[in-house]
Amino acid sequence: MKLISRTLLVSALAASCVAYAGLAQARDLTIALRSEPSSMDPQFHSLTPNTQMSETIFDPLVRTDGDAKPVACLAESWTVDGNVWTFKLRPDVKFSDGTPFTSEDVLFTYDRVAKVPNSPSSYALYLSSIEKVEAPDAHTVKITTKGPSPVLLPNLSLVPIMSKKAASGPAPEGKTTVELNRGDGLIGTGPYKFVSWKRGAEIVLDRNENYWGTPPAWDKVTYRPITNSAARVAALLAGDVDVIEDPPTDDQARLKKDKNLYLQETPSVRVIYLALNQADEPPKGMTGTDGKNPLADKRVREALSLALDRKAIVERIMDGAGLPAANLLPYPAFGTSKELSQAPAADPEKARQLLAEAGYPDGFTMTLGSPDGRYTNDKRIAQAVAAMWARIGVKAEVETMAPPVFFKQRNAFAFSSYLAGWSASSGEMLNPLMSLVVTKNPEEGLGTTNWSKYSNPEMDKVVMEASKMLDDDKRSELLQKASAMVMSDYGILPLQFELSVWAMKKDIRYGGRVDQMTLAQDMTLAK
């Protein structure tokens, strides 16, 4: 469909937020996570471990299914007329404490987003197109956008609705992140309710008896953070856990042959990328540059990209469980171009020539920050990148650390460059462009995860035009143009797209999701 209809009505019968479970026999479920959430506050940090937890305790107005398509949830239907979206809320929904869910909870939630302090990656990104939110009655929400907003629905799916009664408080944001981490005010309408969180040990949830949808399969769900991938496999084989995220790539062939296990492989929309600090002044950890920041020079950024053997990273480090990346989203996803579907081959000789032209024939020294355990083989990939850069004379001192520490340091600009990942939740190019490379503007919810100080005003204009374009073909053309501008500018260096893998006991099934979220409510007993 080339043009989004001016009036769209989605029936609850067509799609709903109900779990794909509902079994006569239920039991407890234990899931081993590769990375622990940084917070229980559903609006503190836009990070997959956080988002998957909040989606289990809370519900958004609109949910996305495993293929990133919007489906009805707390809003059972909606219409759009120009810039005005009217959402009809599902009646008779209650929070886990028995409080009725109304439009006032939606207003409270959306108002709170921009007030949450010190967010490493703000949820304001997902509400940036909204001008105002109104509640004509207890079961109607009217959202007026600043202009046409073609990705409003997938954006709203990432903002779970909180209880105004439970989450209100004296602070500007109501209950603070610290209070929510203790469980105070952590009340949602989702399939499970919060019981406890022992950092580094476990998160325990119980079935929400007030849940409006089909009851999930499990009475109790325990999440155990096990950051070491080999230890996760050992826990599964020993029967200590039922499901694990991200088994080691070099173990997957063996696990597939195990008759007591089942492996689910799902292509993802997560790109692993390198961000380069492009400030005017040299970033922390950089030496040998005579007071300049070489990363602000396009020739240097191109040289660093040409030094990367992306194919070797996928083959040797990921054991083939990935795809070399030349863009922020794999082709043929919406807004991607065939021209950027193949990662460029490494060319160290040309890279050295570019460094010499830029005035750095002997290279320089900088830091490369990376989480250890957040992404598949993240530490090993960072070390491989450093080795590849060393071949062209750039010495990168790798600094790896636990994910929460890494993100805090990244946001303090503690690294010359860093390795991270981003999952395009909407399934189209607008999402990573708006978050990772648009000029940072916290007040407008733009560039919320752009911690490289990259700025291209011309590209920004194209992205903003695309964000308001309802014609699908024209929006795709604009997104292709914008992403091509970023890639030709080497504003960010994509490395590879992850393949998501879950391993589980043979009697459990999970269909997986392109956004890599691990959702207990979507896991069932095998038939």
Q: Residue-wise over 154-175: b if at least 16 C-beta within 10 A, else e?
A: bbbbbbbbbbbebbeeeeebbb
- The tokens describing 471, both together, are 């014609």
pLDDT of residue 144: 98
pLDDT of residue 19: 40
- The tokens describing 229, both together, are 């991938």
Mean pLDDT per 10-residue interval, the chain, length 527 residues: 35 39 64 95 94 96 90 96 96 97 98 94 92 97 95 94 97 97 96 97 97 95 95 97 94 93 91 97 95 97 98 94 93 92 95 98 97 94 98 98 94 97 89 96 91 97 94 94 98 95 96 93 93
Judge contact between 274 and 385, C-beta under 8 A. yes
Please calculate the CA angle 409-411-417 and round it to the nearest 5 degrees. 75
Judge contact between 55 and 517, C-beta under 8 A. yes
Alpha-carbon dihedral sign for residues 180, 186, 191, 196: positive
Which DSSP helix (H) or strand (E) runs through 228? none
pLDDT of residue 267: 82
Judge contact between 166 and 182, C-beta under 8 A. no
pTM score > 0.85 for this model? Answer: no
Strand partners, 29: 221
Strand partners, 221: 29, 205
Measured in whole angstroms, the distance separating CA 495 from the mean position of its chain's CA atoms is: 16
Nearest to 29 by CA among 502, 516, 514, 513: 502
Judge contact between 3 and 470, C-beta under 8 A. yes
pLDDT of residue 69: 86
Strand partners, 141: 87
- The tokens describing 102, both together, are 């109304």
Distance CA 209, CA 206 (A): 9
CA distances from 339 to 301, 447, 476 (A): 20, 25, 14
